[in-house]
Structure 1
Amino acid sequence: MDHNYYTSKTYGPSDPMSKDLWVNIDQLEKDKVKIHGILSNTHRQAARVNLSFDFPFYGHLLREITVATGGKLESALSVVVISVLNANYNPFEDHSINHLKRYRTALVVQWDHVHLQDNYNLGSFTFQATLHNTGRIVFAYKEVDSYSRVDLLSRFFLCLIFYVRRRTIYEYHRVELTKTRITNSSAVEMMPLPTCLQFSSCGACISSHINFNCSWCHRLNRFTNNNKGNDSVRCFSSIARI
């Protein structure tokens, strides 16, 4: 599926790619896996994680990400939202923990046997998010069937938000996935498409083949797209918040 900024593909339980995209943390050496103590034993908690690489998100480079017990990743400024399986989870038990595995070119985060705060008896959820230095994002779901029986407002999505002014939130773009296709042993792979921000010269921009109406941002000293909203506002936000 083409989302302008990303292409996404969902793999079902019978597709071999679903198994390949799941990182089996249990088989890794213990010294290569970090069990985050705070996230593992606290309800509604978040912690910052330094990346060992530049992670491109909508053309912006991130070196830090915030991992939340609620099944999502955010940036430190809350302008980046990567919702893997967002809900009100509580680890409850010692084995229900958040694992973090850091590679030189990727970060793997696993929510392992987490339960819903208000419905423990519904069962546990186990799922992962992997961020690659190429900008590729993988959501992998091992145990999530109970999710379909819960009336939750959240969805599976990527979202870039700018705080333009105080109390003013501008949603730049959203990639929303189909809820019914998320099942046990499924996975979603999202590949970034070229954006105007990666170009630093007129020649590179003109010779590109992307479907954006680009313009030069003097503040940012880069091209930015004007496919919706006010470009000057977006240009200003890029400098102030990213």
Structure 2
Amino acid sequence: MAMTEQVPLQVFIYLGIILFSLVDFIKTEDVPYTLLNEPSNFNPVISFDGHYINKRQAPSPSTTSPGTTSGPGTQSTQSTSTLSTIDIKDQGSHKYYTSKVVLSDKYWDELNDLPAQHASLTNGHRIAVTVGLTFGFPFYGHTVKKVTIATGGFLYMSPFLHSWLTATQYIAPLMANFDTTIGNGSDILYKDYTDRFVVEWRDVYLQDQNHTNPFSFQTTLHKNGSIVFGYRQVPLDVTEIITANHPVKIGVSDAFYVDATVNVEKNETEYKYSELEGITRRTIYEYHRVEVNLTLIEENTVVLLEPLLTCNVASNCETCIQQNANFECKWCSAISRCSDGIDWHRQEWLKAGCTSLISSGKGSCSEMQRQKNTQQAVGGIIGIVLVLLILIVAIVGWFVYAYRNPTSASGMWLMEHRPSVMKQKIANMKFWKRTTETGDKYKIESSASEA
């Protein structure tokens, strides 16, 4: 009897755990955006697995004594007073960026000289627009030629566009639920200086907390890969921004993709998806994120992100295996690419069998080159043999055709040049010797044409 009374209680406990897990599973911090200039490669059929593939935790800030820091790009000679110098990356990880938070107003670009505007960005909510750059911006070692500007205070950096831009692959000076339809002076401005690209969210209001004064902040992308976040107006403690309807993030993030064919089952209740049966679904895996401590952000604060050397910028084997110690770089000759296996081209890297390659050691590249040369030589020999076999087969086929079709042009030619005829022509040739002023000469006269 005691056992039967305990069973319902255990069932309720298990059901509670399952429901709690389910609620936690379906909970997401990401929200969809509308892309106004939606390109042909737009693909809403995606999923996010391994969204937190690496555990990320921002370490506690360590305040340092005032000093001088070097800014990125063209502003490297400016002097600033240090608010704090902290590591705002994954704990123990210094692979992709070095980061500093400083107090300065020297990094702000005044966009009063005819900056570009987009009407929908200046008067919209959860809107994003893609614009081109005049230079290639290195982002996690990848060259980016276009960026997607979002009203929510961030840039989306991947050429693969979808609705869930807040999830990963962003540069976010202050990602939040900004709505530029609130307030007459709200603007999103951008300007390309050919050596840097500046985007400013000017006098923008939070949709959920529009009782405060507006925010004004910038992000600057320098040609050398440096990233600057600048804050002019921060009327509310960033940690107090509501996250119920939009994530709040400051930092950068990147991801790789894995494509797989999936079958979508047809049914009457979801008939609109029936045409997607057998489609290719892209899964996005975030592999790194820089998270800035939100408590450090205030007016005149500047976040400086400096890129570190990554494997995928190397263009040859020698440079690849001599990269710095941050990565275990490998050169894959099959696809002529250097990588540690974690970047935008991860699926191609795995497909080419590049994971088991030599990553270091003297003579590694020369050995790989010798193997490549040997493979090329073997391939050349095989090609020659194949050509000869094809030629022999063609000749034999022609002879068979000519023999079986004596009235054809090939058959007539074969009859005129059969061995018995050729022997007779040679026998009818006459040879004689004559003497001339220049000496003895031999002359050949043939009467084969008379035969």
* TM score, norm. by length of structure 2: 0.47
Tell me whether 1:129 sits opposite 2:211 in the alignment: no
* Residue 210 of structure 1: aligned partner: 325
Aligned partner of residue 95 in structure 1, secondary structure: coil
Asked if residue 190 in structure 1 is aligned to residue 305 in structure 2, the reply is: yes
Tell me: CA distance 1:100–1:190, structure 2 relative to 1, closer, same or farther (3 Å): same
Q: Which consecutive unaligned segments of at least 5 residues does structure 1 have?
A: 13-17, 238-242
Structure 1 residue corresponding to 2:105, chosen from 19, 27, 31? 19
**Superposed displacement of residue 36, structure 1:** 2.1
Using a 3 Å threshold, how does the CA distance of structure 1 residues 120 and 220 change in structure 2: closer, same or farther?
A: farther
SS in 1 for 2:121: helix
Q: d(CA) in 2 for partners of 1:219 and 1:175?
A: 32
Q: Check the 8 A contact 2:169/2:253 in 1, yes or no.
A: yes
User: 142, 145, 150: which one pairs with 2:241?
Assistant: 150
Higher RCO (CA 8 Å, separation ≥ 6 residues):
1
Shift of 1:161: 1.5
Q: Does 1:43 align with 2:109?
A: no
2:202 is matched with which residue?
112
RMSD: 2.2
Question: SS of 1:184's equivalent?
Answer: coil
Assess if the C-alpha contact under 8 Å between 2:202 and 2:216 holds in 1. yes
Structure 2 Cα separation of the partners of residues 203 and 218 of structure 1: 12
In 2, the alpha carbon distance for the partners of 1:193 and 1:184 equals: 28
Q: 1:219·1:236 contact (CA, 8 Å) conserved in 2?
A: no
Amino acid aligned to 1:70: G
CA offsets 1:85-138 (integer angstroms, 9 cap, x no match): 111111123311001111111110000011111221022111001011100100
The superposition leaves residues 4-49 of structure 1 with CA deviations (integer Å, 9 ceiling, x where unpaired) of: 100011013xxxxx21111122xx42x3x11221100111111111
Would the alpha carbon gap of residues 77 and 219 (structure 1) be closer, same or farther in structure 2, given more than 3 Å must change? farther
Distance in 2, matches of 1:199 and 1:124, equals: 44
Amino acid at match of 2:144: L
Give the Cα–Cα distance (whole angstroms) in 2 for the partners of residues 8 and 88 of structure 1.
25
Q: Which residue of 2 aligns with 1:72?
A: 154
Residues 232, 102 of structure 1: CA spacing in aligned structure 2 closer, same or farther, 3 A cutoff? closer
Is contact 1:41-1:94 (8 Å) kept?
no
- 2:316–2:331 CA contact under 8 A, matched in 1: no
Distance 1:232 1:66, change over 3 A: closer
Q: Secondary structure at the match of 1:203?
A: helix
Q: Distance in 2 between matches of 1:62 and 1:39?
A: 21
Q: Structure 1 residues 125 and 234, CA, compared in 2 at 3 Å: closer, same or farther?
A: farther
Q: Which residue of 2 aligns with 1:138?
A: 228
1:63 partnered with 2:145: yes
TM-score (norm 1): 0.85
What does the per-residue CA deviation read over 1:67-97, in whole Å, with 9 as the maximum and x for residues that have no partner? 0000010134156211211111111233110
Residue deviations 1:127-180 (CA, integer Å, cap 9, x gap): 001011100100101112413322434221211122313263211211111111
Q: Which amino acid aligns with 2:100?
A: K
**Kept after mapping to 1: 8 A contact 2:213/2:235:** no
Q: Is the 8 A contact 2:174 2:250 kept in 1?
A: yes
Cα distance change of structure 1 residues 21 and 235 upon mapping to structure 2, 3 Å threshold: farther
Structure with the bigger percentage of helix:
2
**Inter-CA distance 77–236: structure 2 relative to 1 (3 Å threshold):** farther
Q: Considering only CA atoms, is the larger Rg found in Structure 1 or Structure 2?
A: 2
**Is the Cα–Cα contact under 8 Å of residues 257 and 285 in structure 2 kept in the other structure?**
yes
Q: Given the superposition, is the C-alpha separation of residues 101 and 199 from structure 1 closer, same or farther in structure 2, using an over 3 Å criterion? A: same
Name the structure 2 match of 1:15: none
More strand by share: 1
SS in 2 for 1:120: coil
How far apart in 2 are the matches of 1:216 and 1:207? 11
- Note the C-alpha offset of 1:232: 5.1
Instruction: Work out the CA distance in 2 between the residues paired with 1:104 and 1:217.
Output: 34
Question: 2:63 aligned with 1:8, yes or no?
Answer: no
Alpha-carbon distance between aligned partners in 1 of 2:250 and 2:293, rounded to the nearest angstrom: 8
Where does 1:170-189 land on structure 2 (aligned, <5 Å)? 170-189=285-304
> How many corresponding residue pairs?
226
Distance of aligned partners of 1:207 and 1:167 in 2 relative to their CA distance in 1, 3 Å threshold: closer
Contact 2:321 2:331 in 1 (8 A): no
Q: CA deviation at 1:236?
A: 5.9
Select between 170-179 and 151-160 the one with higher mean Cα deviation: 151-160
Structure 2: any 5+ residue segments left out of the alignment? 1-86, 162-167, 260-280, 352-451
